[in-house]
Structure formats: structure tokens, C-alpha cells
Amino acid sequence: MYNFDVERPSTVAEAVAAMGRDEAQPMSGGQTLIPTLKARLAAPSVLVSLGGIEEMKGVSMADGLLSVGGGTTHAAVAREAAAHYPALAGLAARIGDPAVRNRGTIGGSVANNDPSACYPAAVLGSGATVVTNQREIAADDYFLGMFETALDEGEIVTGVNFPVPQAAHYEKMIQPASRFPLVAVFVAKFSDGLRVAVTGASNNGVFRWTEAETALAADFSADALNGVKADASEMISDLHGTGAYRAHLVNVMTKRAVAAIG
């Protein structure tokens, strides 16, 4: 690590003020950021720790909308969202290991937008809204590509609002080393439509698989996806699988998610 200052705001307003300092960077669970700092791959002058901001923590349900504070840990979501949105809680419960789940936050994950992260699939798959200190951003407008989001410099994710679907399922095939998704698919079925979001697979980060959505809208069954192919040319090819393999897995994981919803 290089030297840096630490700010510990206790409100969003204080955090926003602290972010005004030169080369400031927010930190939530630090599960991604701390290793980056240790490897000397980032050199912020000021770390603004969001961990003490109570107003960014917790899960609440109102008018069919589940609001998750940006500072809520994966473990808290797994616990507190279980009664309201089991698919989301199940996703959170299977991120990383207990240490990661007790530190890492939804805000950090969504801000980071790792192409293999779990949460982006739920956010996009639910058609959720990302809430920041400045505005609300629809999921469809929020994820812009690998590690890229619609967030402005210094903008803080304070929460995510999830419309709760009638039924949903997250199906994940893990990459054997990192145990992040190799390919994972979030399928959510609403009274007025459905969404299929895919993570881990694409060079452009999380995406909606619209061909599958169309096929499933006509016939919500795994068989409806027979012959529906994801575009392999857009897929990540690496040590753990070719683009063709990932494209194949997109289909398999989607079918399994659909079958699980029934």
C-alpha cells in the first residue's frame, strides 16, 4: 500500500463532503479495494470509509419494493431479505466465503461492476433502481460494460431498490479457482413480463439476454430455450473456458433457472 488518509463519515452528507477532497475514493467492505491497494494498483490520497453510515444499512420492504441500503453486507442481505426476496437472499448467501460476506457490501459490488460479480445479475435481472447521493438510475442504464457504470466521479451508491418478482432464481456455475461465477443467470418473472440477466460471460459485463426473454415470454419453460443461442463472439475466452463454452453455459444456466422457477 501507499500512504493515504482515512475519513470516517457517519452520514451520506459527510461522505459527499469528504469525497470532495483531492483523489478521494470511497471504501465499503474493502473486499475488492484493499487487495488492490495492497498490490499497489491504486493510490488514492484519501479513503472515505462508508462503513459507519447507518442510514446506508439495512433492508426494508414497502409497496412491493425491497430497498437495500448500499452499505448492507452480503450476510445481512442473506438474512434480512430471505422472507421478502428469497432469490436475492440466496444469491447473497453464496457470494465468496463468510469473511467476504460479512464485510462486502451491495453498494461496493454494484459500484465495482466486476464482469463476474453476482449482484449485477440480480440488479439487472430484477429491473432494480440504483440509488445514489444524486439521483436514481434504472438498472438498464446503469451497467455500461466491464467495470464501467453510469456513476459520476465521486458519486456514492446509497442503496438499491428491487421490485420483487412473482418468482425468481439465480443459477450459478462457478469458476474453479476464484469461485466467482464462470457464468450465472438471474431469471425473474413479474406479472407484466420477465427478465434474464447474465453475469460472468460477456466481455461487456452483465447483460440482458433478450432472445431468451422473447422465447420465454411466449412459453415459460426450459424447452422454449432449445436452439436459442447466446452470441459466442461477445463472450470472455480465458483459462477457464472459451467463448463457445460460456455461450453454451448461458443457455444451460438459463434453462436451469427457468426449471427451478417452474
Partner 1 sequence: MPKDGGIGASSKRREDVRFLTGNGKYTDDINMRGQAYVHFLRSDVAHGTLTKVDTSAAAEMPGVVQIFTGADFVEIGGMPCGWQVTDKHGDPMHEPKHPVLAHGKVRHVGEPIAAVVAETLAQARDAAEAIEVDIAELPAVVNMKDAVKDGAPKVHDELPGNLCYDWGFVEENKGAVDEAFEKAAHVTTLELTNNRLVANPMEPRVAIGDFDRSDGEHTLYTTSQNPHVIRLLMGAFVLGIPEHKLRVVAPDVGGGFGTKIFHYQEEAFCTFAAKAVNRPVKWTSTRSEAFVSDAHGRDHVTKIELALDAENNFTALRTDTYANMGAYLSTFAPSVPTWLHGTLMAGNYKTPLIYVNVKAVFTNTVPVDAYRGAGRPEATYQLERLVDMAAHELGVDPIALRRQNFITEFPYATPVAVEYDTGDYVATMDKLEEMADLSGFEARRKASEAKGKLRGFGVNCYIEACGIAPSNLVGQLGARAGLYESATVRVNATGGLVVMTGSHSHGQGHETSFAQVVAEMIGIDESMIDIVHGDTSKVPMGMGTYGSRSIAVGGSAMVRATEKIIAKAKKIASHLLEASEGDIELKDGAFSVAGTDKSVAWGDVTLAAYVPHNYPLDDIEPGLEETAFYDPANFTYPSGAYACEVELDPDTGQVSIERFSAADDFGNIINPMIVTGQVHGGIAQGVGQALLENCAYDEEGQLLSASYMDYAMPRASDLPFYDVDHSCQTPCTHNPLGVKGCGEAGAIGSPPAVVNAVINAMRSGGHDVKHIDMPVSPARVWAAMNG
Ligand X SMILES: Cc1cc2nc3c(=O)[nH]c(=O)nc-3n(C[C@H](O)[C@H](O)[C@H](O)COP(=O)(O)OP(=O)(O)OC[C@H]3O[C@@H](n4cnc5c(N)ncnc54)[C@H](O)[C@@H]3O)c2cc1C
Q: Which of 19, 28, 205, 212 binds ligand X (CB under 6 A)?
A: 28
- H and E: helices and strands count for the chain: 10, 14
**Residue nearer to partner 1 on the CB measure, 146 or 252:** 252
Q: What is the footprint of ligand X within residues 164-223 (CB under 6 A)?
A: 179-180
* Rg over CA atoms, the chain: 18
Sheet holding 46-49, edge to edge: 5-7, 46-49, 24-27
Query: Angle, nearest 10°, between helix axes 243-261 and 210-218?
Result: 30
Q: Which of 12, 16, 95, 124 binds ligand X (CB under 6 A)?
A: 95
Please provide the size of the chain in residues.
262
Q: What is the footprint of partner 1 within residues 172-191 (CB under 8 A)?
A: 173, 176-178, 182
- Compose the 49-88 pattern: x for residues touching ligand X by CB under 6 A, - for all others: -x-------------------x------------------
Q: Which of 254, 251, 138 is nearest to 194 (CA)?
A: 254
- Compose the 27-66 pattern: x for residues touching partner 1 by CB under 8 A, - for all others: ------------xx--------------------------
Alpha carbon of residue 125 to chain centroid: 10
Question: What are the CA-CA distances from residue 258 to residues 70, 125, 144, 178, 223 (Å)?
Answer: 29, 13, 26, 26, 9
The answer to the question of residue 167 lying near partner 1 (CB under 8 A) is no
Please give the residue ranges that form the binding site for ligand X (CB under 6 A).
25-33, 50, 70, 95-97, 100, 103-105, 107-109, 111-112, 114, 117-119, 156-157, 179-180
